[in-house]
Structure 1
């Protein structure tokens, strides 16, 4: 097998065509017909930028890709394949104008055989022997497909995962499944049987004799088992190739994600191919109405969720971006992740195996109801594909069958009994395809008895109730399911918005018995309905950190709890939230859309991380405010045994950490502050190690009135961008530190706003956070476009930028770019600054 990733030499056109001939017609009629194509690299989505456009709904429709491939299959009579890791949401594949395949479903992998088409395609001579290939993607609205357009995430279009050109012999290995049988280990036996199964790709039905060999190696590369067959005839379907006993296997776990390697080689008169798969040995169980056990020991599942979404590129994340995101999740201390709400990239699953993150992965039957037979067949097909493609990953323990299937909106009829019947069908299909894993759904109470593991909706302190209701509501819900696992909790929070006293809802929100904290249809809206923190609160990082602190300290003492997963790790784009402080953004992340950490990240670390850490709250809060001499709380989040705090060099004393001492596990100090500058340094000590963290802030005692104007400042940062910040001040020029109005940035001249990124420094329409908002500008953008947006949205985000001198023009041009940036807010005069 020979595999080549097809990343470069692609062109793209957003929009429809009259037919596949128009992909190539301009090459024949060069002077008469021009179709606007532009070069792209894969992965690519044509919604990477418009998903966060505050002034328009994101594009849903066709988008075309084309390339010309040099082909040289070395296998006589071999097959030439295109392997798509995903194409959203539907795809037609053409060799020149010959349609060779179609695929429905934007998240599972599929393979297209182009052997015959490539051999006889018209147009090859015109392109110097290269084979012209075109792909028509389409993410148009269609109620008879999943996921529903009512889902809280974008249905992205494009080739947003990798595409490969693959050469295989006439008979080759299509897939290998590895199954450790761990029932004996659970009973205390010393070893287990591992079965290796394989499936052939033999489209012409050839009958030549085959030889198969299997080699298993441990993590250090030592061979632990091998098997070789004599000559055998080709077979159909999945067949057992080898079975061996693995004595005293090293068990896979989040703390020790130990992986074995299985190499399966197939030899025939047509050539030799091999597949290498990794696997792990582990066993688990959900105790009935009790905790979760991995490898015989209780494990509290500490999790988060992931959407495939990133600033500037949408779902088209590179492997490096994915690796950075997964590393951040693991470093936060998580041991579990739910991949919502669709099958995700193979790179994600590989990293879950390597890093030690247990997984719930699900198909995108999300909201809307239940469609007709083609709708249901797509559900079956996507479940079958997900299980077959991710079967070998030891990280996966749950196959999700749906999400919020009680959310009615797409069809005239909403038949609960029919949904139950189909859910049961999917449950049984899952167990036929994979008897070793369990099924799960979230938020569909009338189906909770069908699946193996159920998560109700519990949003204490956000969509319903207050966060101190968390334990009571969780306990009540756990009694209604044999295996309870709490998916989705948290709160929206605008990065860099801090308050001195957060809105909690304690005094205003009706509580009842504290157990009714489920989200109901419409609760996500910012108007109407009952009082709730999501509607009436301040959306601050301050509140979010306090909520997290309460929930995590509560989970530590809930000895019956299997676990819970916060929603979601990173802010992500969504079409159903146009009125968010950053329009079209779900802002419940503990990091921003460009990997910039919020304060909440460190609250999780203080409970979950093993490596000693300490964090003084307020790194993105440059100004605190209050009365002269007012006593203020200085908060520290740390997992250290003890922390000492210094204020302007003076020790405020040492405190011992106690997770049940809310807030901050007892790591809080009181100090009277006067107007001026302050430095707060925390020194954590843990088992002989020391860690420290420092924050500097200004304490403002001047009182402010209503915002009267916006003031703009600009500074250049080391990577060439210019950061423009707007501040709301009153008639006396005093910074209004609680101002939260929407502001809109604009630009005229040579530069370009780096906007539509869905971050607090990358959105042209955004609410003020603690009275300020900012945006980055490429000073030589537009036609010259010297600095690609993608260069600014990789690991580290804007935090890595350092102030520098004034911007100049492109190297060697002698041109000084001139731009004027504006900012306006309702009721205030527009402000301008030249950069």
Structure 2
């Protein structure tokens, strides 16, 4: 066997994610334990094993077969199956000790260097963007063949009895164009970077071991115009079932707020004999109490499938709502002559949704203004390889701000996002990546519907985003109608929308149930005259830009002001769009572009070295910008009083500084060094402001409800740093290899005032069953490495993403941060059961 070139492998290692409907939350299926009855089989009826650990990774090469581990050499890649000719790493004796050990989710692109991409022609219109900037200036793509192919390798053993079962690998998401090879057999190729896929490996296993799983990933081409990452950036599962089982996404539950439940189950028989089975479904409430049960019989042909329909009723139904997102669980058990063959579970919630062209949106019969944000799926430090716990944290940040809806932009999301939305009470617009009726496009759309139709959070299917070539054309309508027919055949309960930035009322409009407006607010009233009975939602609004902690526009550094003053020519500021949508009850609501800053599309400058957007309400670390508190003021009911900017303007004494307050209180009074600067009434959906000559000291704002002070906030001129602080979003870390803690670092002076402009280099280290998965600071022009253990503060803040290792409970995780001139900071996280 030819050994891999040592230099290329070392380089790879060094280089381094009106509709009554009850939707049903997708199953969280841990390993199912054996049924404890006398007739129970020796093996668990179903095992779903997380396959994220103990992989090896290396970069291949898109243009050099020898540096791509022999893949395609002598044109024999597909000539013989199972004999190791596919690629050198597919053989059991391949030496992969120089490959990088990785756990999933994993994004190799985030660890690549930045590249200026000078070969791109600068756009005539700066708002059109530089393609290099659009993808975050990472050195990946056709110009970088040495960075655009990734190889993943994993060896595994099976259990006695597995040879008599059906074994399936489920890939939640691989970006992109992946080839799955097991024991030398090429099992499948999957091009989409966003849709999950599965592979039946039953015929290709070595029951006595070892088994060598190889995944080749080609990220040379992208699918979007934003940073997309590269690699196996979502979970992989090994699923073991009986020959008779429920296939992936084979359960669909629909219900009504009355408590009526209908369940459809697909039963598959992978054996050579007909089978007569019972399907026993038990429904449990959130507390685990049994609330309903139903049993049906089914006849399954050899190698056949059968659809089984069941109906039940919940006597005292608890509805899924934003404030109380109650989830039920349906447990479906297949039995044959009393023996349990398979157990599959799924969560669901009862709720009713209705869009009305004159009155807006209703949830469970109650009017609700939709207030939310669009989001891509990358985060500082980890890129697109976002662990589930971090997805949950990100959803909660917007929920705490007062948002109630999340749009998946612009692709099928990680299912962890939908699970978080189900659990926290957040509505979802679920969007397919390709607006096309080709077989591939419809296949991707069908996958979206099958997987996600059981989530109560999902209220709209979106068939496209700003499809400028077809959204206003007859051809576009034909495509949209084909997509509509497919959606309605799979899920007739939810309405369909498309996010259109032109031609509302033309082209594909008749295929929609709800019109999605991307900006172009002046077209809303003309559209209503053409389609008075079609509801409207603002699928993209605002696109206002701001840089956290910056209050002066700096063209050289590439920063914009954190005041609500700047937006591209097609867009509106936060207060401008929200006051418009809030004033019109017939508008169902709107979603800001975007909730979080994301890599790529660095509007308004679109040039080197900007590597991330300025659109976010929070930055790439999830640190809130000032505008977060504008939305928090008007999107939820708790009192808010937020003062900006900071009060560190040394060298600008006497210069007039604009001071703003975001609040939902009646009025605000501002003091500078105990001298009143006046009281101002807070306008609805607005803010208050003063022009204040800078004098070091203290700005204090008092918020009034009527004539009573109910809140106070202050900005103080900070002195020299005396203390480094690190805090965590959680006190404990589950030792499951998946949990994450977000560590926030900042400096304080002797009086406890944070230093708002500090840029010290912070070094992170830790001990215990965890590792530093990445670092960030929210700086949209920083070219520092994400895969590192140190990071400069940006306007006073930096973040480390700490990811759990699999370890013994009880061993604490101790995080330490250091910087020059002040004592080290430490915190301890408790290790919790996985």
TM-score (norm 2): 0.71
Asked if 1:585 corresponds to 2:666, the answer is no
Deviations 1:634-672 (A, max 9, x none): 322123455454433455566554415xx41xx44x465
Return the offset for 1:480.
Answer: 4.5
* Matched residue SS, 2:159: coil
Output aligned runs, 1:506-655, within 5 Å: 538=560, 540-544=562-566, 547-574=573-600, 579-580=606-607, 583-619=610-646, 622-623=648-649, 628=654, 633-641=658-666, 643-650=668-675
The equivalent residue for 1:771 is: none
The equivalent residue for 2:241 is: 168
Q: Is contact 1:51–1:574 with CA below 8 Å preserved after alignment?
A: no
The equivalent residue for 2:509 is: 448
Q: Is contact 1:252–1:394 with CA below 8 Å preserved after alignment?
A: yes
Asked if 1:659 corresponds to 2:684, the answer is yes
Alpha-carbon spacing, 1:204–1:110, altered in 2? closer, same or farther (3 Å)? farther
Asked if 1:347 corresponds to 2:416, the answer is yes
Give the distance between the partners of 2:649 and 2:655, measured in 1 at CA.
Answer: 16
The equivalent residue for 2:173 is: 86
The equivalent residue for 1:815 is: none
* Matched residue SS, 2:373: strand
Alpha-carbon spacing, 1:130–1:613, altered in 2? closer, same or farther (3 Å)? farther
Alpha-carbon spacing, 1:488–1:671, altered in 2? closer, same or farther (3 Å)? closer
* Matched residue SS, 2:496: strand
Asked if 1:200 corresponds to 2:267, the answer is yes
Give the distance between the partners of 2:94 and 2:413, measured in 1 at CA.
Answer: 41
* Counterpart among 102, 125, 128 of residue 40 in structure 1: 102
Give the distance between the partners of 1:26 and 1:250, measured in 2 at CA.
Answer: 54
Return the offset for 1:538.
Answer: 4.8
Deviations 1:70-90 (A, max 9, x none): 211656721222111111222
Alpha-carbon spacing, 1:297–1:789, altered in 2? closer, same or farther (3 Å)? closer
Return the offset for 1:303.
Answer: 1.2
Alpha-carbon spacing, 1:78–1:493, altered in 2? closer, same or farther (3 Å)? same
Q: Is contact 1:755–1:762 with CA below 8 Å preserved after alignment?
A: no
The equivalent residue for 2:48 is: 3
* Matched residue SS, 2:286: coil
The equivalent residue for 1:464 is: none
Deviations 1:338-376 (A, max 9, x none): 11111111111111111111111111026xxx6xxxx82
Return the offset for 1:435.
Answer: 0.5
Q: Is contact 1:23–1:134 with CA below 8 Å preserved after alignment?
A: no
* Matched residue SS, 1:572: coil
Return the offset for 1:586.
Answer: 2.5
Asked if 1:486 corresponds to 2:538, the answer is yes
Output aligned runs, 1:120-139, within 5 Å: 129-139=209-219
Higher relative contact order (CA 8 A, sep 6+): 2
Give the distance between the partners of 1:756 and 1:218, measured in 2 at CA.
Answer: 39
The equivalent residue for 1:426 is: 483
Give the distance between the partners of 1:112 and 1:629, measured in 2 at CA.
Answer: 66
For the aligned residues, what is the CA RMSD?
A: 4.5
* Counterpart among 375, 388, 393 of residue 306 in structure 1: 375
* Counterpart among 254, 262, 278 of residue 180 in structure 1: 254
Asked if 1:252 corresponds to 2:320, the answer is yes
Alpha-carbon spacing, 1:688–1:222, altered in 2? closer, same or farther (3 Å)? farther
Alpha-carbon spacing, 1:451–1:473, altered in 2? closer, same or farther (3 Å)? closer
Q: Is contact 2:540–2:590 with CA below 8 Å preserved after alignment?
A: yes
Alpha-carbon spacing, 1:345–1:722, altered in 2? closer, same or farther (3 Å)? closer
* Matched residue SS, 1:594: coil
Return the offset for 1:103.
Answer: 2.1
Give the distance between the partners of 1:303 and 1:788, measured in 2 at CA.
Answer: 25
Output aligned runs, 1:798-813, within 5 Å: 805=821
TM-score (norm 1): 0.71
Alpha-carbon spacing, 1:560–1:51, altered in 2? closer, same or farther (3 Å)? farther
* Matched residue SS, 1:485: strand
Alpha-carbon spacing, 1:628–1:351, altered in 2? closer, same or farther (3 Å)? same
Give the distance between the partners of 1:228 and 1:87, measured in 2 at CA.
Answer: 38
Give the distance between the partners of 2:787 and 2:642, measured in 1 at CA.
Answer: 27
Alpha-carbon spacing, 1:788–1:574, altered in 2? closer, same or farther (3 Å)? closer
Give the distance between the partners of 2:184 and 2:196, measured in 1 at CA.
Answer: 23
Output aligned runs, 1:388-407, within 5 Å: 388-407=450-469
* Counterpart among 433, 443, 460 of residue 364 in structure 1: 433
Q: Is contact 2:726–2:746 with CA below 8 Å preserved after alignment?
A: no
Query: What count of residue pairs does the alignment treat as equivalent?
Result: 672
Deviations 1:581-625 (A, max 9, x none): 752422211111111111111111011123333211224x63288
Return the offset for 1:575.
Answer: 6.8
* Matched residue SS, 1:569: coil
Return the offset for 1:207.
Answer: 2.1
Alpha-carbon spacing, 1:676–1:231, altered in 2? closer, same or farther (3 Å)? closer
Q: Is contact 1:51–1:573 with CA below 8 Å preserved after alignment?
A: no
The equivalent residue for 1:102 is: 189
Output aligned runs, 1:241-320, within 5 Å: 241-247=309-315, 249-268=317-336, 271-288=340-357, 290-320=359-389
Return the offset for 1:456.
Answer: 3.2
Q: Is contact 2:90–2:182 with CA below 8 Å preserved after alignment?
A: no
Return the offset for 1:204.
Answer: 3.5
* Matched residue SS, 2:351: coil
Alpha-carbon spacing, 1:238–1:390, altered in 2? closer, same or farther (3 Å)? farther
The equivalent residue for 1:24 is: 89
Q: Which runs of 5+ in 2 are unaligned?
A: 1-45, 62-67, 72-83, 118-136, 142-147, 728-742, 748-755, 762-771, 793-797, 805-815, 825-834
Give the distance between the partners of 1:438 and 1:80, measured in 2 at CA.
Answer: 36
Q: Is contact 1:108–1:343 with CA below 8 Å preserved after alignment?
A: yes
Q: Which runs of 5+ in 1 are unaligned?
A: 186-190, 409-413, 460-469, 504-525, 527-535, 700-712, 726-736, 746-753, 767-773, 782-786, 794-799, 809-835
Alpha-carbon spacing, 1:51–1:680, altered in 2? closer, same or farther (3 Å)? farther
Q: Is contact 2:519–2:540 with CA below 8 Å preserved after alignment?
A: yes
Deviations 1:729-772 (A, max 9, x none): xxxxxxxx99xxxx9x9xxxxxxxx9997854485459xxxxxx
Deviations 1:220-244 (A, max 9, x none): 3332211123575469556234201
* Matched residue SS, 2:413: coil
Q: Is contact 1:761–1:776 with CA below 8 Å preserved after alignment?
A: no
Give the distance between the partners of 2:395 and 2:113, measured in 1 at CA.
Answer: 23
Q: Is contact 2:429–2:458 with CA below 8 Å preserved after alignment?
A: yes
Give the distance between the partners of 1:81 and 1:582, measured in 2 at CA.
Answer: 44
Give the distance between the partners of 2:213 and 2:299, measured in 1 at CA.
Answer: 37
Output aligned runs, 1:741-780, within 5 Å: 759-761=777-779, 763-764=781-782
Return the offset for 1:52.
Answer: 5.7
Q: Is contact 2:775–2:789 with CA below 8 Å preserved after alignment?
A: no
Asked if 1:59 corresponds to 2:140, the answer is yes
The equivalent residue for 1:680 is: 700
Q: Is contact 2:612–2:781 with CA below 8 Å preserved after alignment?
A: no
Output aligned runs, 1:723-742, within 5 Å: none
* Matched residue SS, 1:331: helix
The equivalent residue for 2:41 is: none
* Matched residue SS, 1:379: helix
Q: Is contact 2:474–2:508 with CA below 8 Å preserved after alignment?
A: no
Alpha-carbon spacing, 1:350–1:689, altered in 2? closer, same or farther (3 Å)? farther
Return the offset for 1:39.
Answer: 1.1
Asked if 1:337 corresponds to 2:433, the answer is no
Return the offset for 1:332.
Answer: 1.1
